[in-house]
Structure formats: structure tokens, C-alpha cells
Copies of this chain bind each other. A is one copy, B any other.
Amino acid sequence: MIRFSPLARSARAALLSIPAALGLVSFALAQPFDAADLDVARELREQALASDLAYEITADLTTRVGNRLAGSENDARAVEWAVEMFESMGFDRVWTEPATFPYWTRETERVSIVAPTEQELVAIALGFSPATPDGGVEAEVVMFDDLDDFEAASPDSVEGRIVFIRSRMERARDGSGYGPAVQKRARGSVVGAEKGAAAVVIRSVGTSTDRFAHTGMMRFTAGSRLVPAAAISNPDADQLERLMTGDAAVRMRVEIEASVNETYTSRNVIAQIDGAADPESIDAPIVAIGAHLDSWDVGTGALDDAAGVGIVTAAARLIMEHADEHGARPDRSIQVILFAAEEIGLWGGRAWADAHGDEVERYLVASESDFGAGRIYAMTARVADEAMPVIEAIQAELAPLGVESVERGGGAGPDFTPMLARGLAAVRLRQDGSKYFDYHHTENDTLDKVDPEAMKQNVAAFAVFTWLAAQSPVGFGSGPELLD
């Protein structure tokens, strides 16, 4: 059953690179996969498009566990749920690995306009915001267009005041509006502390015009001074802007009860399909697909990232079922890794990279699903040159699903980032995120926001990618040389 030993793989890679080096044919003309493997890929694609499994997994996690903030009681419940789920599915191996981190507990938050009239706003404290003093802070509001504008302000104009940063996020299929918009969330509190602000209130990072406030982590280093920080929903930010352009001074009150806690140890939960190559060997190669198990503490983390849990688990399960029925095990092992504590600082991904960093070459390639359940429309690959024919051949099998193109670069998803720094080869199946930031990190991220049909397409793409990656005649270049 072993069709490509590591040795054979290297030999084929060398062969494949010759025509390209001579400029005789493009990479895309080579078909690196065996016909039998392509047949399996196509069967998996069709089976995935007919399967509700990912949705069922997503529904089960979000219904039976609900939200699952890292360090909370539900974090432990989610780990238990994941282990039971993997075991019930009959994966060859299921285990957990520790991830230890400081955690944060939200009690309450309340943000109100108190002058010129009293108005309660829809608000949410940002992750790791310090609490306000008892009774909250009340002060005049000073408004800035964006973080740059705030950073340029003289401390005199800010000191003792509540800072409001009003910049908006732009909607985009690839979610590219998030990066610029999230700066004020990441840095507002630190800048506020530097300038002596009483608190920082930001317009939610998010594209919804519904009245949901968007939480998420702040970026700071140990020992950074922070001021209490919260986001208000887009309609509330609009309201505040209108009041700020009036004649009367606007005053607000911010009350946050929250605490940063000593360390908690959660678990990355891992399931493996043993490959046909000796799975006991320390060198047995692995294709890794992942998602994160934790969520924010509002909503039920359906899109972020129960959907990813459903998608990668269902893809692996379909491959396993196919193997069981046809006796066709994948050549390489496949791991499904459900990471802990992604939201509050990639702690699961960091622990995994720490534990497995010296095995980076074993991890042929990795890909995470952590962008909701929108349809996949493109792929990116951060792989060695010699793997590009394989990547292009995979994309060709994904094209019937609407995966239109492949570009080099990109990553493997947030939780693989720490391992990316060690040279992990990475593929990303890029999802349509046009609506993702309508729900992401809000109370409104619930199961009904998952499109079951788009989810099937995601499973199909992951199943095809994962299967073919496990059958690839060449490696993808994981290792320090990929960093060059």
C-alpha cells in the first residue's frame, strides 16, 4: 500500500523540477497524482457535498457546550466534548496536549452617555481590559478619527477624558478591512494609558449595522499599563458621533468589572488517521488540518470557530470512512488539531509549536479553517518551488467547487503561525468573508449564521486538499529552508 516512500518522493520531486528549470513546460502541465488518487479525491468531493456532518458537529458543539472562553468552565467542557467526539468517530489516535496561559474573566460592562441626555449604549469590554474603579469612570468625551489621530494628540487634550475612536471597518470578501480597523482595538488602551485617558471606547471592529458590540484582544506586553477599554456597536458609535457634532459637551460613564487571572491549563485536542507509512515511526510524515476549539464568551462561537471544527473534522472523517470502505489508507498520516485559547493569544498554537517545533519537517503541510463557513474561492500556498505542481494539481481538483486560483504566500491560519516561524509549509483555503465580520466576536455569532451549503463546499475542499496532500509525490518544503 505504500506507494511513495520518502525516498521515492524526493526522486520524483527532482524529476518534476527538471522541465521547469529548462523552461520547456510550465508546472501546470504536469499531473503529479496517480489516477487512483485523483479518483478518490473526486469521490470525496462528491461525498462531502452530500454530507451534513460538519453542520452537525458545529450544532452539537455550540448547542451542548455553547460559548467557551479560554479558562472558563466551558473551556474544559469543550475539551471533553472534543475528545468524546473524536473517539466516537473512530480515529486511530486521540490525545490532548497542554497549553498554559493567563486568562481573563468578564463580569459586566456598561457604557452610557450621561450628558447631554442619559443613553445606555450597547458595549462590550475588550479582552484583558482592566476593571474600572468602583462606580466606573465618568468624564467628558474626546473623539479621534482613528488610532493615528489619537496617537498624534497632545496628552493635554486627552488627560482624564474618555477617548472615543470612531474609524470604521470596510467590508471585503477577503476580510482585508480587519487589519487596518483592528489597530484601534489592539493599541487604543495602551496609548490611552500613555496619555492619561480615563478610558478608551472604540467603534466596534466589524461590518454589521446591527446593534452588536465586537470584542477581541488588545495587544500589549507584560507590564504594559492599560486603561479600561470597550467597544460600542456601530449604531451606538453613529449616535455618539452625532451627539459629538452638536453644541453640548458629551460626557460618558464606563463601568467594567473584569479580572485577569493566574494561569490555566487547557488542552489542544488532536485526532489522527494513521497513514500507510509506518505511523509509529518518529519520522512518519503528517498532513495537519486544524481549527480552534475556544471562542469568545458571547454568542456561541459558531462561525468562530465551531464551523472550522466541523469542517476539518468532517473532512478527515470522510477520508477515514473512504479508507475503511475501500481499504485505501492515505499514504501519510492526517492530524486534526483543535487548538486551545486562540482568541486570547494563540496559546494553543504556541504550545503546539513549542512541543513540535523540532518535528517541523514531519509536518508536510498544514491548513486551518478559522474564517467562518463562507465558500472557498481561492487558495494560497507557502511551499517550496518543487511543490507548486502539486499545489496546482490540487487547485485543479478544487476548481469545480469554485476555487478559482492559487497564489503563493499567505499562511496556514492563526494557530499555525508560531510553527510557520519554524518553516512549516502552509496552505490556506480562502473563504468568502464578506459577512464574517458582521458576526465575528459578537453576541450574534450563533449557529443560524452558518450556511449549511457553503459549509459542505468547505468540507469538500478540505477533504480534497487533505487527501491529495497526503498522497503528494513530493514534500511541500517544511523546514528551516522555507524561511529563506
Q: Interface residues, chain A, CB within 8 Å of chain B?
A: 59, 62-67, 73-74, 77, 116-119, 122, 209-212, 234-236, 238-239, 242-243, 246, 299-300, 443-444, 446-449
B446 close to A235 (CB less than 8 A): yes
Contact B446 A211 (CB under 8 A): yes
**Are the C-beta atoms of A448 and B209 separated by less than 8 Å?**
yes
CA–CA, A263 and B77, complex, Å: 50
Residue of B nearest to A238 (CB): B448
| CB-nearest residue of chain B to A74 | B117
Q: Are A234 and B65 in contact (CB under 8 A)?
A: no
User: Measured between C-beta atoms, what is the minimum distance from A63 to chain B in Å?
Assistant: 5
Given A117-B77, A239-B300, A300-B239: A210 in contact with B66 (beta carbons within 8 A): no
Q: Write out the residue numbers on chain B whose beta carbons fall within 8 Å of the beta carbon of A119.
A: 66-67, 300
When distances are taken between beta carbons in the complex, the residues of chain B under 8 Å from A212 are: 210-211
Q: Which residues of B contact A65 (CB under 8 A)?
A: 117
12 contacts between A and B (CB under 8 A): A62-B239, A63-B242, A63-B246, A66-B118, A73-B118, A74-B118, A210-B210, A211-B444, A234-B448, A235-B444, A238-B447, A239-B447
Residues of B within 8 A of A243 (CB): 63-64
Question: With A65-B117, A117-B77 known to touch, is A448 a contact of B235 (CB < 8 Å)?
Answer: yes
CA distance A118 to B300 in the complex (A): 12
> Known interface pairs A443-B122, A447-B235, A448-B234. Does A64 touch B211 (Cβ–Cβ under 8 Å)?
no
Q: How far apart sit A273 and B282, CA to CA, in the bound complex (Å)? A: 90
- The residue that A59 contacts in the complex, of B234, B242, B299, with Cβ under 8 A, is B242
> Which residue of B is nearest A239, CB measured?
B63
Looking at the assembled complex, report how far the CB atom of A210 sits from the nearest CB atom of chain B, in whole angstroms.
Answer: 5
Which chain B residue has the least Cβ–Cβ distance from A235? B446
Q: Complex formed: what's the CA distance from A212 to B448 in Å?
A: 13
Given contacts A65-B117, A211-B443, A238-B447, 7 further A-B contacts (CB under 8 A): A63-B242, A63-B246, A64-B116, A66-B119, A73-B118, A210-B212, A211-B444
Residues of chain B with a CB closer than 8 A to A447's CB = 235, 238-239
Distance to closest chain B CB from A114 (angstroms): 12
Q: Which chain B residues border A239 with CB–CB below 8 Å?
A: 62-63, 66, 300, 446-447
* Most B Cβ at <10 Å: residue of A59, A211, A443: A211
Please, which residue of chain B has its CB at the minimum distance from the CB of A299? B211
CA distance A59 to B245 in the complex (A): 13
**Chain B residue contacts of A210, Cβ below 8 A:** 210, 212, 444
Complex: A73 Cα to B118 Cα, angstroms:
10
Residue of B nearest to A117 (CB): B66
User: For the complex, what is the distance from the CA of A449 to the CA of B64, rounded to whole Å?
Assistant: 34
Per the bound structure, the CA–CA distance linking A243 and B117 in Å amounts to 42
Please, which residues of chain B bring their CB within 8 A of the CB of A67? 119
Task: Tell me which residues across on chain B come within 8 A of A300, comparing CB atoms.
Answer: 119, 239
Shortest Cβ gap from A396 to chain B (Å): 37
Q: For the complex, what is the distance from the CA of A62 to the CA of B235, rounded to whole Å?
A: 12
Separation of A209 and B446 alpha carbons in the complex (Å)? 10
User: In the assembled complex, which residues on chain B have CB atoms less than 8 Å from the CB atom of A118?
Assistant: 66, 73-74
Query: CB-CB < 8 A to A448: which residues of B?
Result: 209, 234-235, 238
Measured between beta carbons, the chain B residues less than 8 angstroms from A77 are 117
List, in ascending order, chain B residues with CB within 8 A of A63's CB. 239, 242-243, 246
Question: How many Å from the CB of A445 to the closest CB on chain B?
Answer: 9
Which residues in B have their C-beta under 8 angstroms from that of A299?
A: 211
